[in-house]
Amino acid sequence: QSALTQPPSVSGSPGQSVTVSCTGSSSDVGRYNFVSWYQQPPGAAPKLVIYEVSNRPSGVPDRFSGSKSGNTASLTISGLQAEDEANYYCTSYTSSNRYVFGTGTQVTVL
């Protein structure tokens, strides 16, 4: 199972919006609405920010949103803040009853 494809990096100024894409296939992202996103600041463990494509866990700011179209899922951070600077990973459940992570995207706040 190949990793889902994410851009290596995206950046934006405070207050702007950035979008991170996550491209898979018809066996994972395109087949199930079981895409989740994780935020990992340097030196820290991953933290869940989006589940089931577009749902936010309690405590996650509403500037984080998710969507999906075909085989590509997206994470959008609106009103970018300095504390959002981190690596972000998508993951999807797959047709082989397993999970696959994305390659990861570094979000930089300029």
Residues at the site binding another protein, with contacts judged by CB under 8 A: 1, 3, 32, 34, 36, 38, 40, 45-48, 51-52, 57, 87, 89, 91, 93, 96-104
Per DSSP, the three-state class of 1 is coil
**Residue 86 near residue 95, CB atoms below 8 Å:** no
Shortest Å distance, C-beta 14 to another protein: 26
Among 80, 84, 82, 50, residue whose Cα is nearest residue 65? 50
Structure tokens at 70: 């075909």
Per DSSP, the three-state class of 82 is helix
Shortest Å distance, C-beta 74 to another protein: 17
Nearer to another protein, 12 or 46 (CB): 46
Among 77, 41, 31, residue whose Cα is nearest residue 56? 77
Nearer to another protein, 56 or 63 (CB): 56
Structure tokens at 68: 């999906």
Nearer to another protein, 24 or 104 (CB): 104
Shortest Å distance, C-beta 107 to another protein: 14
Nearer to another protein, 32 or 76 (CB): 32
